[in-house]
Amino acid sequence: MENGKKLLSKRDVVKGWARYYLGAEVSSGFERLTAPAFSFGMSGVLRELYENNPDEMKKSLERHMLFYNSEASWGSIIFGISCALEEERANQMNSGATPEILDESAKMISDLKVGLMGPLAGMGDSISHGIVRPLLLSAFIPVAAAGSWIGGIAPFVIWGVVVSAFAYFLMSQGYALGKRSVTTILQSATLSKVINMASVLGLFMMGALSSTYIKLATVVHWKDGAGKAVMLQDKINTILPNLLPLIVVFCVYFYIRKFGPKYVRILLGLLVISFVLAFIGFV
């Protein structure tokens, strides 16, 4: 909360956030997407703020049932901000603010949610799900391939703990700083450094995985003047080992860059090309 009397305890906000966070991907629907989970989390907070005003409690719940969709972890900051703004609005109401001021504050809460949910969803999907999770899974693939059960469980445990802790931090910052929190966090130099470090590490990991797990070799061969078989793959390896897997990776990469992530087409294309190359005796 930015100013005014403190009407919510830390426990109220954390309990409400936990209800939202645990139900964010459970109650999704095409009409409102994750709005039911957001409203469910806010219900306890609103009950504390408007316990003596049932009509306002109803209006507030309806306000938070409007269409809402964002990545749950990064979107937790929106939940914290909403709690701070609702608390500020309740203070305005208790101090005798005019209906126009109250309507404006209610509109600001709804507009802020709509304005932030898209950018934060994009950041959450690209960073948490597009960089961090693949890196975490790739780090334990060799462990799982070696037959250890830890490789199959550890990524999910680590992912759950780390992402939940990050979501809690964002929620706390959102509530503590109110509508100034997003600007403060997004302008932080530390966040930019972490994103750049994760991107560079992701490139290294994807390159290592590509060279390790993509297997492609040609069986083309011929006989030299002495009648000894010469393998084309041996000649390629002397020039650049794993050249053929690298070509495959770059072909898929440029296809995605030009035509988009059409994964079914890519898989079918790789299967067809593999059958053709095997039929003509190239691989």
Q: Per the domain annotation, does 15 fall within a domain? A: yes
84: CB partners within 8 A, 6+ apart = 1, 2, 174, 175, 176, 177, 178, 179
Alpha-carbon gap, residue 283 to 215, rounded angstroms = 11
pLDDT band of 186, cuts 50, 70, 90:
low
Give the domain range for residue 257: 216-279
Exposed/middle/buried for residue 39 (C-beta within 10 Å: 0-12, 13-18, 19+)? buried
- Please indicate, yes or no, whether residues 242 and 184 belong to a single structural domain of this protein: no
Number of domains in the chain: 2
Task: Return the amino acid letter for 189.
Answer: A
Question: By three-state DSSP, how is residue 213 classified?
Answer: helix
Claim to verify: residue 169 and residue 253 sit in the same structural domain:
no
- Least confident span in 89-103, 146-160, 224-238: 224-238
State residue 203's pLDDT score: 64
Q: 255 with 246: CB under 8 angstroms?
A: no
Model pLDDT, residue 185: 57
33-53 confidence digits (pLDDT tens): 888 999 999 998 999 888 888
- pTM for this entry: 0.65
**Of all residues in the chain, what percent carry a pLDDT higher than 90?**
12
- Answer yes or no: do 142 and 270 share one domain: no
Question: Of 93 and 213, which is predicted with more confidence?
Answer: 93
Domain shared by 33 and 137, yes or no = yes
Domain identity same for 250 and 162: no
pLDDT class of 208 with cuts at 50, 70, 90:
low
At residue 42, the 3 state secondary structure works out as helix
35 domain residue, yes or no: yes
Residues 179 and 220 in one domain: no
Average the pLDDT over 98-116 and give the result: 85
How many percent of the chain have pLDDT more than 70? 86
Residues 191, 62 within the same domain: yes
